[in-house]
Structures are given as structure tokens and as C-alpha cells.
A = this chain, B = another copy of it.
């Protein structure tokens, strides 16, 4: 049995940093628009840029710059642009902060074969994996562009894993849980306290939900996996 873990907002904090950064971004543009208007505009621009840029801090920074130009109707100064670049740098340089209990859970599951599967910018994700101190806990680490059925199929195939021998654990229903279930594996949902609008999922599902990663060992034990 192989247990796959998502990383951002499953093993370490991520979205809270983006949201704090967004509050700073909104204050930079406060003379031109209020926070909800800026948030809507940024989200719209990020979604429009998604096919071209993909996910990650660099994409986010470029979309913030585009939003600043648009919201300010071309009045934003070079100094403001420099502050936006700094917001991006701060997100990239942010130290990895593990969620509570992660090390203990990985200790407890150390005799299982663990895998890390994370989505996003190759360079930033590699740097976070390296600085997390967790890399050696995982048999394999994979950085993927999208977490969809074809991607899980490719990654599981590459490592010779049958879906029925695979459990994926993560905070995103559409990225971590549902595609793995569709493929014939099992998914475990561990919600994070904030969710990026793009990852929000409405609709019915029957995947097990645990409130914290520390509940994972007993769930796996119920499944007679551990």
C-alpha cells in the first residue's frame, strides 16, 4: 500500500501566506479601489492567465502587476510595481512552516511507503521540499502541473503502483481526493482552515474527511492498512 501526500496546506502552510499577501496588495491599491473589488479583479485576471501561466508565485506576481495596472487605470508607479515584486519575493522566500503534528504522523507511518505529490511551480516546490526537512520520509516526490485523472494515472504508472493500492491524502477535494477515487484508489480529505477560491468544491461526495492529519493513522487502521 502506498500513501500519497499533498504538500501545500496538507504538510505545510501555504494559502494563509497568499491571503496575507493579498491584504498587503489591496492596501497598496487602496486609493483606487476597495478590497473586494481588487480581490475580484485579481481572481479574474489569475483565472484568465491560468492556461498561459499555470500555478505558482511567479504567475501570481505577474497577475498582481496586471491587476495593479488595470485597477489604477495606468496610474500605478514603478515604486508600487517594486513593492509588488517584493510581495512575490516574500512569498517565495517564506520559510516552510509545517502543520501541527505532521512530523509525528510521518513517524508513526514510517513503515509504510510514503509519496509526496505536489502541484505548482517546479522551482518553488523543489525548494520547499528541500527546506521542509521531510524529503527523506518519502520514497518518491513528484511535482506535477495539474492534479487530474490523467496525471495521477501517469504518475502511478511510472512508479508501478496499482490505483487500488494507493491512498491520496490532501486538503483539496478536486485536486487530491476526487481524481484518485475516480481512478479506483482511495482519497482522504483533510481540510485546511482557508481554501483558495479556485480549489473550492461544491457538490456531493463520499470521501472520508478528517479534521487533522493526526487522525490519519487511525483511519488507515480502520481500513486495515496500518
Contact = CB atoms under 8 A, between A and B. Distances in A.
A118 to B, nearest CB: 11
Given A52-B93, A74-B77, A85 B65 contact: yes
B65 A88 contact: no
A223 interface: no
Interface in A45-68: 52-56, 58-59, 61-62, 65-66, 68
A79 interface: yes
Contacts of A68: 78
A145 B126 contact: yes
A69 interface: yes
Nearest to A66: B85
A201 interface: no
A76 B85 CA distance: 15
Given A122-B122, A123-B145, 8 more contacts: A53-B58, A54-B123, A56-B58, A62-B62, A65-B81, A69-B78, A74-B77, A74-B79
